[in-house]
Amino acid sequence: MSMDIIENILFATIRTGTPLLLVALGAMISERSGVLNLGQEGMILVGAVCAFIGAYTTDSLLIGVASGLASGALFSLIFAVIAISLVSSQIATGLALTIFGTGLSAFLGVDYVGLSIDGLDEQPIPLLHSIPLIGKAFFAQDLLVYGAFILFASIYYVMSRTRLGLIIRAVGEAPAVAHSMGYRVILVRYATVMFGGAMAGLGGAYLSLAYTPMWTEGMSAGRGWIALALVVFASWRTERVLIGAWLFAFASILHLVLQGFGYDISPNLLAMLPYLATIIALVMMMQRAGTAQLAPRSLGQPYYPQN
Amino acid sequence: MRIEARPTPSPTMRYLSPLLALGLTLITGAAIFSALGKAPLASLHAFFIEPVSTVYGLSELFVKVTPLLLCATGLTLCFRAKVWNIGAEGQFVFGALIAGAVSLQLADHQGFWVLPVVIASGVLAGMAWAGIAALLLTRFRAHEILTTIMLNYIAIQLLLWSVHGPLKSPSGYNFPESELFSPQTLLPTLWGQYRVTIAIFIALLMLAVVWTVLNRTLLGYQTRVMGENRQAARFAGFNGNRLIWVLLLFSGGMAGMAGVSEVNGPVGQLTTNLALGYGYTAIIIVFMGRMHPLGVLLASLLLGLTYLGGENAQMTLGLPKSITGVFQGLLLFFLLACDFLISHRIVLTPMRGHRPSNTSTREVTSS
């Protein structure tokens, strides 16, 4: 196997893993505060369509990215109001967000199907990009990929080294205790859910502005659900989310790899791989003793402060 | 004005909430229509009334209701027990795929047994697809929400592979479609030129079965206990895993039947776009119908109407068909929001903050 092929596989893995990483990091943060938002798929789609419309109508990718980010955050606010303030079932509300987001994005994007834009370009970093093997994968990507790396590092820092991270974790582990210590549980949960929405919107923006610069209905293709599985797989740990995203990305591009080696397998059968990989990863994870105990203790439980 | 927790959940609000949600959806819908520059009332009429104002329109409503009701009937039992089968869509597709493959195999056979074999193959296929999730849940503790969703995507890829490959019609100009099924493999229609098939009766019959099971049998009792409290179910001494298997297999079979009702009904062949989201819409139906068979029946009529309304809005108003999904999502959101009033009530108090003597009342917000 030549160097070239490995370089390209690594490059494609990082690229494909970027939307998964963004969405899964956002989902992880809201889950760490105790909120399970199954609406990831809907938020990605709304982010993707708004990012594309923003970029297409203003001819500015920056505005596109900002629209994706903002629309994801705003859209997740619906979930926050119903699941946090109106203490509805998080499972049902998250499903509703996915169903609504799928419909809404198709509705908003109907006039934009088939249009194309110039997507984000690769911006090789001088010198670093010519490192053999990994240079191309890590230092010859587009700005959103670098942005995802920076976000990952910031989240890792915040969650493990700062007071804010501690508060988020306290709210997720024991909301009643956090409340009695004077932290505003509801406010924290609103913030983490909207942060998750912004990250999912950004993931969507990556899909429609960089990965495949166009809008197609349902273009997220289950990435929101895979990201949710990824958080379980990573047992709610930031660094494992990164590794997981790359592993899943590799499973999704395996068909390119196999085709590259001349295997002739139906693309539809190969398209099943990421979903199969998700199931296998879940099963393997649950075999390890105590995975269930790793989940934030109040995950999925509504909470409202008692006077 | 103040919001306080009710001492006990209100049964009235439980049944009023879906109606309230429908009202709010209609108001929001009118606002959306006028924002798009359409006359709101005329648009609502075109969406909700016009499609069912003819006998043909009504018959088409039942064409949509058939697969929806079949899926929702199975999910009713699952959701009652809080077994979150989100995979009706995949079970539908796999049922349709296998029933379709069997129909193509039996194209040259005559006889009364052909159709029962086709139906049974679709139902068993749906059960098998749900059975995978049951195995993963009971044996490997992999959460059913994620596994059933993943199985949905896999089933759709299997369907695409089949119609692009082994089941593609040799006489179809290379379109990804199977050959048309022979008449003896199709479900009989009820009357005349209408497309409603006998599957609607199977759906109604099964709904009655679910009602009986829920209210008159030990299985139904166990289902309700498990939904209310998994711990209690364990203490009551029955095997939760067995119940999970039964519920998932049943709902998988129903979704498989829904697949048969579609592919061996109005569609009549395997195509790439069989998955129209009925399995997801069925989830909304079960919530709207309060997980009660009668409510599920009414809700399936309403949600079936949103499909027809979307098609009609496309034809007469020039709006995208995907407005159906917007209405369905709004409906579910408003329902979940209105459900807040089951456990809470709004109390009107005099302007000067008069507080009740019972200070232990939980307040969420006060103004």
Q: What CATH number has the domain bearing residue A137? A: 1.10.3470
Regarding whether B237 and B141 lie in a shared domain, the answer is yes
| CATH number reported for the structural domain that contains residue B235 in this entry | 1.10.3470
Please calculate the CA angle B42-B46-B51 and round it to the nearest 5 degrees: 155
Could you tell me if B274 and B99 are in contact, meaning their C-beta atoms sit under 8 angstroms apart? no
> Tokens 């109508």 label which residue?
A57
CA distance A240 to A248: 12
Among positive and negative, which fits the CA dihedral A285, A290, A292, A294? Answer: negative
Regarding whether B304 and B252 lie in a shared domain, the answer is yes
Q: First CA to last CA across chain A, in angstroms?
A: 67
Q: Note the pLDDT of residue B24.
A: 95
Tell me how close the Cα of B162 comes to any Cα of chain A, in angstroms. Answer: 9
pTM of the model as a whole: 0.91
Q: Choose among A228, A272, A279: nearest Cβ to B157.
A: A272
Considering B294, B315, B336, which residue would you say is the last residue of a domain? B315
The single-letter code of the amino acid at A239 is E
| Number of other CB atoms surrounding residue B11 within 10 Å | 9
Regarding whether B295 and B161 lie in a shared domain, the answer is yes
Among positive and negative, which fits the CA dihedral B259, B264, B266, B271? Answer: positive
Residue B275 included in any domain:
yes
Could you tell me if A85 and A186 are in contact, meaning their C-beta atoms sit under 8 angstroms apart? yes
Q: Note the pLDDT of residue A134.
A: 83
Tell me how close the Cα of B19 comes to any Cα of chain A, in angstroms. Answer: 18
Chain B neighbors of A78, CB-CB under 8 A = 333
Residue B85 included in any domain:
yes
The single-letter code of the amino acid at B153 is Y
How does A31-44 read in b/e, with b if 16+ C-beta sit within 10 Å? Answer: bbbbbbbbbbbbbb
Residue B212 included in any domain:
yes
For B251, residues 6+ apart whose C-beta sits below 8 A from its C-beta are: B74, B75, B77, B78, B85, B88, B91, B130
CB contact under 8 A, B320 and A86: no
CB contact under 8 A, B157 and A88: no
Structure tokens at B93: 């597709």
Residue B281 included in any domain:
yes
Tell me how close the Cα of A133 comes to any Cα of chain B, in angstroms. Answer: 33
Could you tell me if A23 and A227 are in contact, meaning their C-beta atoms sit under 8 angstroms apart? yes
For A161, residues 6+ apart whose C-beta sits below 8 A from its C-beta are: none
Regarding whether B3 and B144 lie in a shared domain, the answer is no
Q: What are phi and psi of B304, to 5 degrees?
A: -60, -40
Residue B333 included in any domain:
yes
CB contact under 8 A, A99 and B283: yes
DSSP chain A: --HHHHHHHHHHHHHHHHHHHHHHHHHHHHHHTT---TTHHHHHHHHHHHHHHHHHHHS-HHHHHHHHHHHHHHHHHHHIIIIIIS---HHHHHHHHHHHHHHHHHHHTGGGBT-----PPB-PPTTGGGSTTTHHHHHSSBHHHHHHHHHHHHHHHHHHHSHHHHHHHHHHH-HHHHHHTT--HHHHHHHHHHHHHHHHHHHHHHIIIIISSSB-TTTTTTHHHHHHHHHHHTTT-HHHHHHHHHHHHHHHHHHHHHHHTT----HHHHTTHHHHHHHHHHHHHHHSTTHHHHS-TTTT-------
Chain A neighbors of B148, CB-CB under 8 A = none
Q: Note the pLDDT of residue B239.
A: 76
Regarding whether B335 and B304 lie in a shared domain, the answer is no
Range of the domain at A68: 3-122+131-294
| Number of other CB atoms surrounding residue B338 within 10 Å | 21
Q: Note the pLDDT of residue A1.
A: 57
- Count Cα neighbours of A5 within 13 Å in the Cβ-side half-sphere: 10
Tell me how close the Cα of A250 comes to any Cα of chain B, in angstroms. Answer: 17
Q: Note the pLDDT of residue A302.
A: 84
CA distance B71 to B262: 12
Tell me how close the Cα of A257 comes to any Cα of chain B, in angstroms. Answer: 19
CB contact under 8 A, B142 and A103: no
Check residue B197 and report its DSSP letter: B
Residue A156 included in any domain:
yes
Hey, which bits of chain B come out as E strands?
2-5, 344-347, 363-366
CA distance B164 to B174: 9
Regarding whether B11 and B150 lie in a shared domain, the answer is no
Residue B14 included in any domain:
yes
Regarding whether B244 and B192 lie in a shared domain, the answer is yes
Residue B119 included in any domain:
yes
- Provide the edge-to-edge strand list for the sheet that holds B363-366: B344-347, B2-5, B363-366
Q: Note the pLDDT of residue B6.
A: 86
Q: Note the pLDDT of residue B11.
A: 86
- The domain total for chain A is 1
Tell me the sheet residues that pair with B2: B347, B366
Q: Pick the closest to residue B26 from B4, B9, B43 (CA basis).
A: B43
CA distance A242 to A234: 8
CA distance B48 to A103: 18
CB contact under 8 A, B165 and A266: yes
Q: Note the pLDDT of residue B363.
A: 45
Regarding whether B5 and B153 lie in a shared domain, the answer is no
Could you tell me if A197 and A26 are in contact, meaning their C-beta atoms sit under 8 angstroms apart? yes
CA distance A167 to A159: 9
Q: Note the pLDDT of residue A262.
A: 75
Regarding whether B118 and B257 lie in a shared domain, the answer is yes
- The domain total for chain B is 2
Q: Choose among A86, A269, A271: nearest Cβ to B337.
A: A86
Q: Pick the closest to residue B336 from A125, A92, A302, A113 (CA basis).
A: A92
CA distance B62 to B195: 9
- Mutation target for B interface from A99, A110, A219, A231: give the one with most B CBs within 10 A: A99
CB contact under 8 A, B320 and A110: yes
Q: Note the pLDDT of residue B275.
A: 87
Q: Note the pLDDT of residue A19.
A: 96
Q: Which long-range contacts (CB under 8 A, 24 or more apart) does B107-110 make?
A: B107/B179, B107/B181, B107/B182, B107/B185, B108/B182, B109/B184, B110/B184
Q: Choose among B151, B154, B333: nearest Cβ to A82.
A: B333
Range of the domain at B34: 1-38+319-367
Regarding whether B340 and B306 lie in a shared domain, the answer is no
Averaged in consecutive runs of 10 residues, what is the pLDDT profile of chain A (307 residues)? 80 94 96 94 97 94 95 96 91 92 92 88 84 84 91 95 93 90 92 97 95 92 93 90 92 80 80 90 79 80 74
Tell me how close the Cα of B329 comes to any Cα of chain A, in angstroms. Answer: 4
Q: Which long-range contacts (CB under 8 A, 24 or more apart) does A136-141 make?
A: A136/A7, A136/A8, A136/A10, A136/A11, A137/A7, A137/A10, A137/A11, A137/A13, A137/A14, A138/A14, A140/A11, A141/A11, A141/A14, A141/A15
| Number of other CB atoms surrounding residue B216 within 10 Å | 10
CB contact under 8 A, B161 and A91: no
Residue B44 included in any domain:
no
Q: What are phi and psi of B329, to 5 degrees?
A: -65, -45
CA distance B303 to B296: 10
Tell me the sheet residues that pair with A113: A215
Could you tell me if B259 and B133 are in contact, meaning their C-beta atoms sit under 8 angstroms apart? no
Write out residues in chain B with pLDDT < 50, as ranges: 354, 357-367
Q: Note the pLDDT of residue A306.
A: 65
- Residue pairs between chains A and B whose CB atoms are closer than 8 Å: 135
CB contact under 8 A, B325 and A225: no
Q: Choose among B160, B326, B340: nearest Cβ to A104.
A: B326
Regarding whether B304 and B323 lie in a shared domain, the answer is no
Regarding whether B240 and B199 lie in a shared domain, the answer is yes
Q: Cα A165 to chain center, whole Å?
A: 19
